[in-house]
Structure 1
């Protein structure tokens, strides 16, 4: 069983609903969803291209999946995450768009968002004490020979190559896509997601996600509101 600290909009948010339909699974309930009917792309193709993000559910990772250290109980992680989240003021990502990142597609901020970068870095540092050390197999799966010096250092210090200055916030909506399929996939993604990307995305909570068994799907365990309780009541 692994945990991850992420951002995902509330369950009732239009973006969450559209993403759940596209990926084929609701990250809150775990329910499987029927894929949308789209011209030029069959349901089996959609299922294939969304297999990887479907397992992880719709989210933007802030602290990548980790095993809990043997001396750190889940109850302590929950308490500390609730306390930590309250120290951050909610903020907006002004605009998110469909974009290609390597050979897969994600929803990314249109322009760099310093607040989400800072939040992710703070979470990595604050909660690293809850992370069990990486096994040799986990290190090998990270392909250390293909990492830059900074990424290699991050892997051994923080358990993930892509943190701090190497971090780029993104919410995956496909797995790897062959170059030959990209001209068909990208327009479909824009058609599906752009209607719910017109408004800024409010970052007002941090989600603790949990893996169901070993290698199972991830689901939202709990949402931890940002901001002081008194401020949230006034809002």
Structure 2
């Protein structure tokens, strides 16, 4: 069994945003435990657990560097040290506002406007930690290629293990899996109404290293490194 790691932006576990996202997907990745869904729309739908199965596997987060197995000759301890040193050099910033949006067939929280600081953070994570990433397996590459990708995205996949990096990066915090077309806007609107109760600027003040013990397991927070510059 091979563990996988990912570098994510995630709210501090004591914040309303973390509690909101974790309750919507039914899993708290900081505690590595399930949490109950809200007892109101859209989370009271009989199939809500099925609709959130995919984000529950990853935990509430925004991707900075997508999941990867460790490269040969590297270790978890070395990755932890590199993440700590990276965070010591970063300055915290704030995303002024988030909105609940449809991205294709799923619902996510996204910045309500340009987010150059997030884009720069993600770009640095992709490049600075790539020495820790094992090459994609043929099966993983084939799985990614089942989605429509541009020539640049395929080049990104081969170079960096993930197609949506640099110019193709869009920060998002996933709240659902794929939804049938007739469910998308009603679910988005209901989640937007729930989010409105806690909407606030989002501090990005730490680098979170998540770990998945094996492909069948869920990601949980291995370490959270505050930005200290």
Per the shorter chain, which TM-score range? Answer: over 0.9
2:8 and 2:50 map into 1 onto residues whose CA distance is 24
What RMSD, in angstroms, separates the aligned Cα atoms of the two structures? 1.4
Deviations 1:157-184 (Å, cap 9, x if unpaired)? 1011100110000000001011111232
Equivalent residues of 1:92, 1:200 under 8 A apart: yes
Q: Which moved more, 1:43-52 or 1:168-177?
A: 43-52
2:147 and 2:41 map into 1 onto residues whose CA distance is 42
Taking the TM superposition and a 5 Å limit, the aligned residue runs for 1:15-164 are 15-39=17-41, 42-143=44-145, 146-164=148-166
1:27 and 1:205 map into 2 onto residues whose CA distance is 15
* TM-fit CA distance, 1:140: 0.3
* TM-fit CA distance, 1:86: 1.2
CA pair 143-40 structure 1, distance change in 2 beyond 3 A: closer
Gaps of 5+ in 2: none
TM-score by length of 1: 0.93
2:184 to 174, 182, 194: 182
Aligned residue in 1 for 2:222: 221
* TM-fit CA distance, 1:193: 1.4
CA pair 21-40 structure 1, distance change in 2 beyond 3 A: closer
Q: Which moved more, 1:20-29 or 1:89-98?
A: 20-29
Deviations 1:113-157 (Å, cap 9, x if unpaired)? 000000000010000000001111111011168321110110111
Q: Report SS of the residue matched to 1:37.
A: coil
Gaps of 5+ in 1: 229-235
Q: Report SS of the residue matched to 2:181.
A: coil
Equivalent residues of 1:107, 1:170 under 8 A apart: yes
1:222 and 1:201 map into 2 onto residues whose CA distance is 20
Aligned residue in 1 for 2:205: 204
Aligned length: 227
Aligned residue in 2 for 1:232: none
